[in-house]
A and B are shown apart, each in its own frame.
Chain A
């Protein structure tokens, strides 16, 4: 059997077996329901977009221009990245299985190269399919032609990136640092030329003073990209995407030959520039496998380094054992810092939104803006926090063997796992509320001034409990539906049915959260309303305290029940030994 026929067999057999496995899984009701929901989602989100003919006429010209420019700029950025970014090594990537199975096989390097090129071109076809779904309807009335054109463009870009990586490898090996300097020298010249062209275009066509007249911005963009310098810069990319943008068959046929020629030239270039890629492929495969296994065991995400910050407190060997789990999770929080980065990003985003809304006071009277901002963010954390802070069972469940072997009852493990995330979210909320309340409401409205402190105190009492309840629901989902909500980060379950399962779980979590909040709201009303006549707005914190107590009670009861479920959790259902 030749290598090519072996590869065809491999792909066909793998596809067939995967499909068979997925169909077999549909015998189980949860996968069947998941598949139906997933299919419905895919239809509503993606397939309805295939209504090309009628939709095109309703697309505003500005959107079409934006889509066209996006394609052109994407092509240019891809070419630039191929020469500027990443290390100087062949870009061909092989999985560890491919390395183990194919590299020792009696196969020439050229065959391996073609194997990867064919895979890359198939990847380009998938990319073209998605581009057809998302962008195609905006720029072309013929989906088939758009797909073919996009496939040709993406395939050529893939060949370009491969050839560029080979050239960079050659230069690095032959000239070392001098090669790097020469490459960046050329890139610098290209960038300078592009900058000059952009400058000249903007000089000739200054940004319009007012954008209130419809079409002004679009006309300006069209004029800028049509200027001699920039049109020269954009010409190669426009040539490449021309078949995809063709409006009819004749335009397509006239646009295809240059791109086909370009693709063939790139293929010849790849063959001529070919360098040994085995060593680099082995190293990359090992790195990816290591990263994947780390993620599968609840380890660090790709590219995230662990800082060596100190433990939050000294853990004595005496005392309640579950504190060790809280201690461990707080260390994790300090050392991964991802959640803090997310919170800071949210803060920055909030500031940007305020600035974009034209709230100039943000810059001139920061203190007055901080109040509403702090309170809003604290409230927002009740929704966002449980998803951002995940140092609980969602992180540790891949290490179920380890947790189950601990001398702790199920409720102790569940409670301790919840505690660290709840502490972090709660403290953050209280901090934001403190800053917000001390800064003041930011307006002299008497109604707001009356409600500011009682409302703030009520939020301080209530929000940490709401966050705790949110955290509990998310952790409960992982324990109760381990096959639906994979705790590991590898996304082990794939396919439409897995997508549907996750959607159902998300909806279920929302429903459970809302149902859980009802008794708390009732308790708050029962306590707050009778006190209103005597305490006025200050009845609010007391009502909130009652609601918070009910929520805490619900979570405590839930922890006990979830602890029992945790003790009987058997994730081996889908992977018997």
Chain B
């Protein structure tokens, strides 16, 4: 199978702290992988390593066939990273941010795409606004619009629904689902377990930087032994896995 993202033995250390330890997984086109774990589990560090923001201490990350260590530029051209806290250049307007992104990624029909994305994100009419004039939710939407502009094959999302209102959340879920249907691979980190359960095809549960479970919800459920294993909700599973209550079988 041709995977968009292949990760092998990913490790990230900060001094004496092992934030990520030996993560190995792959994500196929059209697949949504949920990255869940308690605070400090290493989710953001993992996403930053996958996006080429932080250099991994060891391990290999391949994005759309490009090794992130050797062909960083080509790999980054195929991905989009949407951080939990959107960051913008204070002096560029909304439209200029799209223009800037278009040049970086060589999106020639960016104006057409940009208009459609602004429409989709309900940012029409805000083209001339500076980031300082946007609400938290609007910034999040602009971050997503910039990320989607070059139709990335891999989309990395860190808490993508933070700051969005209920309608924005619904639209965003539909938008992410559509991107996946169009063939993009998504890696989504979130504490909102219902969202993860609703959107993700597979889950990667990490705690203390280690993979505690990887697979579909059903597969993880079936791997868990115990009397309530079969009917447990994701929240139950999450608590059991991350607190070490569950007896996780080694993934094949």
The answer to whether the Cβ of A116 comes within 8 Å of any Cβ in the partner chain is no
Number of B residues, CB within 8 Å of A: 42
The answer to whether the Cβ of A96 comes within 8 Å of any Cβ in the partner chain is no
What residues of B have a CB within 8 angstroms of the CB of A332 in the complex? 89-91
What residues of B have a CB within 8 angstroms of the CB of A324 in the complex? 100, 103-104
B103/A405 in contact, CB under 8 A: no
* Contact of A572 with B104 at beta-carbon distance under 8 Å, contacts A294-B90, A306-B130, A405-B52 already known: no
Q: B residues 84-107 with Cβ under 8 Å of A?
A: 87, 89-92, 96, 99-100, 102-107
The answer to whether the Cβ of B110 comes within 8 Å of any Cβ in the partner chain is yes
Q: Encode A293-328 as 1/0 by CB contact (under 8 A) with B.
A: 010011110000010100100011111010110011
A406/B130 in contact, CB under 8 A: no
The answer to whether the Cβ of B128 comes within 8 Å of any Cβ in the partner chain is yes
B166 to chain A minimum Cβ distance, whole angstroms, is 24
The answer to whether the Cβ of A336 comes within 8 Å of any Cβ in the partner chain is yes
A570/B76 in contact, CB under 8 A: no
Partner of B91, one of A319, A335, A402, A576: A335
Q: Encode A381-412 as 1/0 by CB contact (under 8 A) with B.
A: 00000000000000010011110111111000
Tally A-B pairs: CB < 8 A: 107
What residues of B have a CB within 8 angstroms of the CB of A568 in the complex? 55
Docked Cα-Cα span, A300 to B91, in Å, equals 9
The answer to whether the Cβ of A331 comes within 8 Å of any Cβ in the partner chain is yes
Docked Cα-Cα span, A570 to B108, in Å, equals 33
The answer to whether the Cβ of B167 comes within 8 Å of any Cβ in the partner chain is no
Closest-by-CB residue of B relative to A298 is B90
The answer to whether the Cβ of B42 comes within 8 Å of any Cβ in the partner chain is yes
The answer to whether the Cβ of A577 comes within 8 Å of any Cβ in the partner chain is yes
* Contact of A318 with B108 at beta-carbon distance under 8 Å, contacts A311-B96, A406-B76, A577-B42 already known: yes
A570/B19 in contact, CB under 8 A: no
Docked Cα-Cα span, A336 to B130, in Å, equals 13
What residues of B have a CB within 8 angstroms of the CB of A409 in the complex? 72-73
Partner of A573, one of B14, B52, B132: B14
A401 to chain B minimum Cβ distance, whole angstroms, is 5
Partner of B100, one of A306, A328, A408: A328
What residues of B have a CB within 8 angstroms of the CB of A308 in the complex? 128, 130
The answer to whether the Cβ of B51 comes within 8 Å of any Cβ in the partner chain is yes
The answer to whether the Cβ of B151 comes within 8 Å of any Cβ in the partner chain is no
Q: Encode A277-306 as 1/0 by CB contact (under 8 A) with B.
A: 000000000000000001001111000001
The answer to whether the Cβ of A567 comes within 8 Å of any Cβ in the partner chain is yes
B104/A570 in contact, CB under 8 A: no
What residues of A have a CB within 8 angstroms of the CB of B109 in the complex? 317
Docked Cα-Cα span, A298 to B90, in Å, equals 8
B76/A405 in contact, CB under 8 A: yes
Docked Cα-Cα span, A332 to B100, in Å, equals 13
Q: A residues 545-577 with Cβ under 8 Å of B?
A: 567-568, 570, 572-573, 576-577
Closest-by-CB residue of B relative to A575 is B14
A318/B100 in contact, CB under 8 A: no
Q: B residues 170-198 with Cβ under 8 Å of A?
A: none
A14 to chain B minimum Cβ distance, whole angstroms, is 24
B14/A576 in contact, CB under 8 A: yes
What residues of A have a CB within 8 angstroms of the CB of B96 in the complex? 311, 328, 331
B64 to chain A minimum Cβ distance, whole angstroms, is 12
B103/A331 in contact, CB under 8 A: no
What residues of A have a CB within 8 angstroms of the CB of B87 in the complex? 297, 399, 401-402
A321/B17 in contact, CB under 8 A: no
Docked Cα-Cα span, A570 to B56, in Å, equals 10
Docked Cα-Cα span, A335 to B15, in Å, equals 40
What residues of B have a CB within 8 angstroms of the CB of A404 in the complex? 51-54
A577/B44 in contact, CB under 8 A: yes
Q: B residues 30-73 with Cβ under 8 Å of A?
A: 40, 42, 44-45, 48, 51-55, 72-73
Docked Cα-Cα span, A365 to B70, in Å, equals 64
Closest-by-CB residue of A relative to B20 is A577
Partner of B106, one of A298, A317, A399, A573: A317
A319 to chain B minimum Cβ distance, whole angstroms, is 7
Q: Interface of A with B (CB < 8 Å)?
A: 294, 297-300, 306, 308, 311, 315-319, 321, 323-324, 327-328, 331-332, 335-336, 396, 399-402, 404-409, 567-568, 570, 572-573, 576-577
Q: What are the nearest 6 A-B pairs in CB distance?
A: A576-B14, A324-B103, A407-B77, A407-B76, A404-B53, A332-B91
